[in-house]
Amino acid sequence: MTGLMGPQVPGRPSGLPPMVQTPAQPIRAVSTPGSRWTVYVLRPVWLARREIALSLLLLAALGCGWAVGGWPLALMVALSLASLLVMPGVRGAVGALLWRARVIRRWDSAARYAGLATHNDRVPRVMGVTRTAAGERLRVRLPKGSAAVDVEDRVPWLTSSLRASAVRVAADEDNAQYATVEVIRRDPLDAFGVLTWPWAAAAEHGWVASAWEPIPVAVAENGDTVMVALLGGSAAGSPDGSAELAGPDELDGGRRR
């Protein structure tokens, strides 16, 4: 109804909220049909481009089979494509592709809800995704004008938006434009049960390792093995540190795990 004033903004008409919840847009320009087309059409399509490409390839293969030999050939094409998924390599590659796409979409939405979008609507872009025992490890590229500390400040909101138990951010030591984001979704220690030292059976299997190499001592909360270096990188007793200790492959032909 025209003329009704809402309590949220005095003096302005109020209406019903949108049916689909969306994050606030930080664009400092007037909303235009072009901007709405970009935000609500082009960006979702770009984030789902992998799934769209796989669907188009599937439809193209079925369409070619139908055009050449009718429904019998199209059925054979469909069965051939389905048989490819039985192969572990193909199934694993397709599953990894779809999992990566889902993680990227989830991160894009969480970053916008957490308020990480810049004034020109840029969010930290996922450049690499790795599955860990605790969740995911993301390597993100920060937009210009942003720093890793900006992501760290929004960790509580990121954790809530990602539905994770914890999120940890570490800046890249070599390039400050990149950061590593650890998304913790589960406690890896709960799945391991009774933990044993990875090298406990070294003597039984004849493994040979050098004391100069790092050794595993624990499991971190993200599921990675914690390595500790007991000694330096050069042989003991060398005055200039130039002597090298023989590697494990050179000691009695042993192998190192």
**Percent of the chain topping pLDDT 70:** 68
Query: Distance (Å, rounded) from C-alpha 119 to C-alpha 138?
Result: 23
Q: What is the pLDDT of residue 157?
A: 95
What per-residue string of b and e applies to 21-51 under the rule 16 or more CB within 10 Å gives b?
A: eebeeebeeeeeeeeeeeeeeeeeeebeebe
Q: What is the pLDDT of residue 81?
A: 85
Average pLDDT, the chain: 77
The domain defined by 85-186 folds into: Threonyl-tRNA Synthetase; Chain A, domain 2 (3.30.980)
- The lowest-confidence range among 12-26, 53-67, 86-100 is 12-26
Query: Distance (Å, rounded) from C-alpha 197 to C-alpha 192?
Result: 12
Residue 164 has pLDDT above 60, yes or no: yes
Q: Which two tokens stand for residue 145?
A: 């004008």
The residues near 56 (Cβ < 8 Å, ≥ 6 apart) are: none
> Cβ distance 136 to 103 under 8 Å?
yes
Q: At 228, is the secondary structure helix, strand, or coil?
A: strand
Stated pTM of the model: 0.67
Q: Which two tokens stand for residue 230?
A: 């007991």
Q: Where are the domains of the chain?
A: 85-186, 189-257
Q: What is the pLDDT of residue 137?
A: 93
Residue 252 has pLDDT above 60, yes or no: no
| Nearest CA-CA partner of 121 in 20, 40, 17, 9 | 40
Residue 198 has pLDDT above 80, yes or no: no
Query: Distance (Å, rounded) from C-alpha 89 to C-alpha 111?
Result: 33
Residue 243 has pLDDT above 90, yes or no: no
Residue 140 has pLDDT above 80, yes or no: yes
Of the two residues 116 and 242, the one the predictor is more confident about is 116
Q: What are the beta bridge partners of residue 183?
A: 136, 167
Residue with tokens 């390595």: 227
Q: Can you tell me the mean pLDDT for 80-104?
A: 89
Q: What is the pLDDT of residue 87?
A: 86
Of the two residues 242 and 46, the one the predictor is more confident about is 46
